[in-house]
Protein backbone atom coordinates (compact mmCIF):
# COMPACT_ATOMS: atom_id res chain seq x y z
CA UNK A 1 0.00 0.00 0.00
CA UNK A 2 1.63 3.30 -1.01
CA UNK A 3 2.23 5.60 1.93
CA UNK A 4 1.86 8.85 0.04
CA UNK A 5 4.54 10.57 2.13
CA UNK A 6 6.92 13.19 0.75
CA UNK A 7 10.34 11.54 0.75
CA UNK A 8 12.19 14.36 2.50
CA UNK A 9 13.80 14.36 5.90
CA UNK A 10 15.93 16.72 7.97
CA UNK A 11 18.69 14.17 8.48
CA UNK A 12 21.96 14.07 6.55
CA UNK A 13 23.35 10.67 7.53
CA UNK A 14 22.19 7.87 5.19
CA UNK A 15 21.17 5.48 7.97
CA UNK A 16 19.08 8.18 9.67
CA UNK A 17 17.46 9.29 6.40
CA UNK A 18 16.40 5.76 5.47
CA UNK A 19 15.17 4.88 8.97
CA UNK A 20 13.20 8.12 9.26
CA UNK A 21 11.53 7.68 5.87
CA UNK A 22 10.78 4.01 6.54
CA UNK A 23 9.13 4.96 9.83
CA UNK A 24 7.14 7.80 8.22
CA UNK A 25 5.89 5.38 5.54
CA UNK A 26 4.94 2.68 8.06
CA UNK A 27 3.13 5.17 10.33
CA UNK A 28 1.21 6.67 7.39
CA UNK A 29 -0.05 3.26 6.29
CA UNK A 30 -0.71 2.09 9.87
CA UNK A 31 -3.09 5.03 10.33
CA UNK A 32 -5.26 3.52 7.56
CA UNK A 33 -5.22 -0.01 9.02
CA UNK A 34 -7.25 -1.03 12.07
CA UNK A 35 -4.83 -3.81 13.06
CA UNK A 36 -1.79 -5.77 11.96
CA UNK A 37 1.88 -5.06 11.50
CA UNK A 38 2.92 -2.55 8.86
CA UNK A 39 6.40 -2.71 7.35
CA UNK A 40 7.94 0.41 5.84
CA UNK A 41 11.25 0.55 4.00
CA UNK A 42 13.39 3.13 2.25
CA UNK A 43 16.61 2.67 0.28
CA UNK A 44 19.41 5.07 -0.56
CA UNK A 45 22.60 4.59 -2.58
CA UNK A 46 25.76 6.32 -1.36
CA UNK A 47 28.85 6.83 -3.51
CA UNK A 48 31.66 8.24 -1.39
CA UNK A 49 29.85 11.04 0.47
CA UNK A 50 27.27 11.61 -2.26
CA UNK A 51 23.69 10.53 -1.53
CA UNK A 52 21.97 9.16 -4.62
CA UNK A 53 18.21 8.88 -4.65
CA UNK A 54 15.75 8.09 -7.41
CA UNK A 55 16.38 9.61 -10.83
CA UNK A 56 13.98 12.31 -12.02
CA UNK A 57 14.21 11.25 -15.68
CA UNK A 58 15.86 8.79 -18.06
CA UNK A 59 18.70 11.29 -18.59
CA UNK A 60 19.10 11.51 -14.80
CA UNK A 61 19.24 7.72 -14.64
CA UNK A 62 21.93 7.70 -17.33
CA UNK A 63 24.00 10.21 -15.31
CA UNK A 64 23.61 8.15 -12.12
CA UNK A 65 24.52 4.85 -13.83
CA UNK A 66 27.56 6.51 -15.45
CA UNK A 67 28.73 7.68 -12.01
CA UNK A 68 28.17 4.24 -10.44
CA UNK A 69 29.75 2.29 -13.32
CA UNK A 70 32.90 0.49 -12.15
CA UNK A 71 32.59 1.72 -8.55
CA UNK A 72 31.99 0.22 -5.15
CA UNK A 73 29.19 2.02 -3.36
CA UNK A 74 26.91 1.41 -0.38
CA UNK A 75 23.23 0.60 -0.32
CA UNK A 76 21.39 1.64 2.86
CA UNK A 77 17.90 0.40 3.62
CA UNK A 78 15.97 1.63 6.61
CA UNK A 79 13.18 -0.60 7.81
CA UNK A 80 10.40 0.05 10.31
CA UNK A 81 7.65 -2.15 11.75
CA UNK A 82 4.58 -0.51 13.28
CA UNK A 83 1.79 -2.31 15.14
CA UNK A 84 -1.30 -0.55 13.74
CA UNK A 85 -3.47 -1.33 16.76
CA UNK A 86 -1.04 -0.21 19.50
CA UNK A 87 1.28 2.23 17.71
CA UNK A 88 4.33 0.33 19.01
CA UNK A 89 7.18 0.55 16.54
CA UNK A 90 10.75 -0.60 15.96
CA UNK A 91 13.22 0.43 13.29
CA UNK A 92 16.72 -0.39 12.12
CA UNK A 93 18.83 -0.26 8.97
CA UNK A 94 21.17 -2.39 6.91
CA UNK A 95 24.13 -1.35 4.77
CA UNK A 96 25.65 -3.43 1.96
CA UNK A 97 28.62 -2.72 -0.30
CA UNK A 98 27.99 -3.21 -4.02
CA UNK A 99 30.60 -3.25 -6.78
CA UNK A 100 29.07 -2.45 -10.15
CA UNK A 101 30.60 -3.71 -13.37
CA UNK A 102 32.04 -1.12 -15.74
CA UNK A 103 29.09 -0.39 -18.02
CA UNK A 104 29.39 0.73 -21.64
CA UNK A 105 27.45 3.80 -22.78
CA UNK A 106 25.21 1.48 -24.82
CA UNK A 107 24.31 -0.64 -21.80
CA UNK A 108 23.70 2.46 -19.70
CA UNK A 109 21.41 3.90 -22.38
CA UNK A 110 19.50 0.59 -22.65
CA UNK A 111 18.96 0.00 -18.91
CA UNK A 112 18.45 3.62 -17.77
CA UNK A 113 14.68 3.51 -18.28
CA UNK A 114 14.22 0.21 -16.40
CA UNK A 115 14.41 1.47 -12.81
CA UNK A 116 13.34 5.10 -12.58
CA UNK A 117 11.62 4.30 -9.27
CA UNK A 118 14.79 3.00 -7.60
CA UNK A 119 17.57 4.77 -5.72
CA UNK A 120 20.72 4.54 -7.80
CA UNK A 121 18.63 3.94 -10.96
CA UNK A 122 19.18 0.18 -10.79
CA UNK A 123 17.78 -2.92 -9.15
CA UNK A 124 19.24 -6.32 -8.43
CA UNK A 125 16.64 -9.04 -8.78
CA UNK A 126 18.83 -12.11 -9.05
CA UNK A 127 22.14 -13.35 -7.74
CA UNK A 128 23.82 -13.15 -11.17
CA UNK A 129 22.66 -9.67 -12.09
CA UNK A 130 24.46 -8.36 -15.22
CA UNK A 131 25.09 -4.92 -13.67
CA UNK A 132 26.61 -6.05 -10.39
CA UNK A 133 30.01 -7.67 -10.01
CA UNK A 134 30.02 -8.19 -6.24
CA UNK A 135 27.75 -7.83 -3.21
CA UNK A 136 29.37 -7.65 0.24
CA UNK A 137 26.78 -8.07 2.97
CA UNK A 138 23.07 -8.83 2.89
CA UNK A 139 22.07 -9.63 -0.72
CA UNK A 140 18.40 -9.07 0.18
CA UNK A 141 19.24 -5.50 1.22
CA UNK A 142 20.28 -4.73 -2.35
CA UNK A 143 17.11 -6.34 -3.70
CA UNK A 144 15.26 -3.89 -1.46
CA UNK A 145 14.21 -5.59 1.76
CA UNK A 146 16.87 -6.71 4.26
CA UNK A 147 15.29 -9.96 5.42
CA UNK A 148 17.74 -10.67 8.25
CA UNK A 149 17.10 -7.24 9.79
CA UNK A 150 13.35 -7.54 9.16
CA UNK A 151 13.27 -11.00 10.76
CA UNK A 152 15.02 -9.63 13.86
CA UNK A 153 12.51 -6.78 14.18
CA UNK A 154 9.53 -9.06 13.58
CA UNK A 155 10.91 -11.46 16.20
CA UNK A 156 10.36 -8.72 18.78
CA UNK A 157 6.67 -8.84 17.75
CA UNK A 158 6.58 -12.66 18.03
CA UNK A 159 6.81 -13.40 14.28
CA UNK A 160 9.51 -15.30 12.39
CA UNK A 161 10.18 -15.25 8.64
CA UNK A 162 11.30 -18.33 6.78
CA UNK A 163 12.80 -17.98 3.33
CA UNK A 164 15.07 -19.74 0.89
CA UNK A 165 18.46 -18.47 -0.11
CA UNK A 166 18.46 -16.09 -3.10
CA UNK A 167 20.48 -18.79 -4.83
CA UNK A 168 17.71 -21.40 -4.40
CA UNK A 169 14.79 -21.65 -6.78
CA UNK A 170 12.33 -22.03 -3.90
CA UNK A 171 11.78 -18.33 -3.17
CA UNK A 172 9.69 -17.33 -0.17
CA UNK A 173 8.46 -20.10 2.08
CA UNK A 174 6.07 -17.91 4.00
CA UNK A 175 5.62 -16.23 7.34
CA UNK A 176 5.24 -18.22 10.54
CA UNK A 177 3.83 -17.12 13.87
* pLDDT (0 to 100) of residue 1: 80
Which has the higher per-residue pLDDT, 46 or 5? 46
Q: Write down the domain spans for the chain.
A: 14-176
Closest Cα to residue 81, out of 137, 151, 140, 132? Answer: 151
Tens-place pLDDT, residues 13-54: 999 999 999 999 999 999 998 899 999 999 999 999 999 988
DSSP string, 47-71: ETTEEE---SSHHHHHHHHHHHTT-
* pLDDT (0 to 100) of residue 171: 43
Check if the beta carbon of residue 43 is closer than 8 Å to that of residue 119. yes
CATH (one of 3.90.950.10, 3.20.20.70, 3.40.50.300, 3.40.50.2000) for 14-176? 3.90.950.10
* pLDDT (0 to 100) of residue 101: 93
Lowest mean pLDDT among 5-14, 29-38, 56-65, 86-95: 5-14
* pLDDT (0 to 100) of residue 51: 93
* pLDDT (0 to 100) of residue 128: 59
Closest Cα to residue 96, out of 56, 115, 124? Answer: 124
The one catalytic residue in 42, 83, 92, 168 is 42
Which has the higher per-residue pLDDT, 109 or 130? 109
Closest Cα to residue 78, out of 167, 156, 9? Answer: 9
Tens-place pLDDT, residues 64-88: 999 999 999 999 999 999 999 999 9
Number of H helices, E strands in the chain: 5, 7
Outline where DSSP puts E strands in the chain. Answer: 37-47, 50-52, 72-83, 89-100, 132-136, 160-163, 172-176
Tens-place pLDDT, residues 115-143: 888 889 888 876 556 788 899 998 889 88
Tell me, yes or no, if 92 is annotated catalytic: no
* pLDDT (0 to 100) of residue 164: 61
Expressed in angstroms, the distance from the first to the final Cα of the chain is: 22
Amino acid sequence: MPSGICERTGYRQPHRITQDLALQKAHAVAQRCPRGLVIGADTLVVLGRRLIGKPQSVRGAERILTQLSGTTHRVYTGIAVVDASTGRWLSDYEVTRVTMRRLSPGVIHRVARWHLDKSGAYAVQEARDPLVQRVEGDFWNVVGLPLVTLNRLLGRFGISLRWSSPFDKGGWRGICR
